[in-house]
Amino acid sequence: MKVVIVGGGFGGLRLARKLNNKPGFEVTLLDRFNYHQFQPLFYQVATAGLDASNISFPLRKVFHNSKNVRIRLGELKEVVADQHLIRTSLGDMEYDVLVLATGAGTNFFGNKALEEHAFPMKSTTEALQLRHTLIQHFEDALQARDSAEMEKLLTLVVVGGGPTGVELSGALAEMKRYVLPKDFPEIDFSKMKIYLLEGSPRTLAAMSEDSSADSAKYLSKLGVTVMTGTTVQDYDGETVVLKDGRTIESKLVIWAAGIKGNMPAGIKPELIARGHRIKVDQTNKVLGTSNVYAIGDLAYMETEKYPNGHPQVAPVAMQQADLLAANLKRIESRSGAKHIQTFSYFDKGSMATVGRNLAVVDLPKNKMHFGGFFAWMIWMGLHLMLILGVKNRLFVFMNWLYNYFTYDQSLRLLFNNTKPPKRTAYVKALPERRLEEVSAG
């Protein structure tokens, strides 16, 4: 069975590993990048807490001893389901089974001004660009012409009160408290402002009310101004305009307010659900097809428990990959084809960290909730387990340990003294760059 998997994220990589060295399968894993990215820790790369190499793992290294999995570095252009092939930047690829695991990107909800000027954080390279810009702004603040210019450079706006927004806001607040006054003693950081804007009535809206309340309390304790029920209408690179008419002067807006599926061309419009997700049945097969599947953030599966689709989180993608691997083995063996199983998500809980010794955890069993130091330890332990590679886990743990005792990190590096390029031009060039080139500035 010739299986083509598009996307090396949590779902795609998990499926390839489950089919690795299994007789009867020839697997091709196609991705734009030659490394797996650990998305939950992008915010720590962006705030100089971790190096990009600590959360990135070469895809080819995963399959050093593989006899049937091959990696191809390229971009999916179009799905041609009726011909059982995909068009890619490398040419056409035929398949017996196609699995779309392209994940999700940033959703600016059609706002072109925000798309041009705000910073997303959905890839390692975007996190690196954000880190570069953040540090450069503090350097620029030393040369600010007046107090108004200084205020814009020292005001940071994070849009989106989900886990990414909450974790990033907390990390920025800890930089302000422990690190930046030592790096830039000439600047009065009591004037630095960090805003977290959320359109819904509370932060961490997908979690319990207790977690929402605790996260808002922790952020307030760290000095973050949390504004719920607040929608951003416009941003020109210097002034944030809110829907109610209020404005915030800032030269750095970080967008963590929404995601949408990375939809390939060739998918019929009637199969595209809200959020640019592909409609699938309960085996993750794309509706109306015989051998095309979608898993993870891209898949939209309606069930009684999840009428609006499953949450777009890593555990869903990994569990769908596990089930699909088992079903493909049944199909390949033929004798087990009649015993195809349907997907049922086992929710083990959700969590988010806000800062040092501050995190929240929700467990569905008995609807348990707890926060503080114990929740923070659980958050760190789980993330360490999920990172690929023993070396990466060791480096991340050492960085966290060092940072815990010293309140500092040594990753705030600018490799050139030129100002960062305009965000849109930079992002368009990224797929053609190697990670090490981006890391080197």
Distance CA 298, CA 294 (A): 6
**Taking a C-beta distance cutoff of 8 angstroms, is the pair 295, 315 a contact?**
no
Residue 285 DSSP class: B
**Which helix (H) or strand (E) segment is 238 a member of?**
none
Write phi, then psi, for 261 (nearest 5 degrees): -60, 145
Residue 341 DSSP class: P
User: Is 167 an active-site residue?
Assistant: yes
Going by C-beta distance under 8 Å and a sequence separation of 6 or more, which residues neighbour residue 105?
Answer: 120, 122, 259, 260, 261, 262
Dihedral sign computed on CA atoms, order 112, 118, 119, 121: negative
Q: Which residues face 196 on adjacent strands? A: 158, 226
* Cα-trace Rg, the chain: 22
Indicate the pairing of strand 85-88 with strand 272-273.
unpaired
Of the residues 167, 174, 198, 332, only one is catalytic, namely 167
Residue/partner pairs of 434-437 with CB below 8 Å, 24 or more apart: 435/33, 435/35, 435/52, 435/53, 435/56, 435/124, 435/125
Chain mean position to CA 88: 24
Helix (H, G, I), strand (E, B) or coil at 28: strand
Query: Residue 101 half-sphere exposure, CB side, CA atoms within 13 Å?
Result: 34
Residues tagged active-site: 167
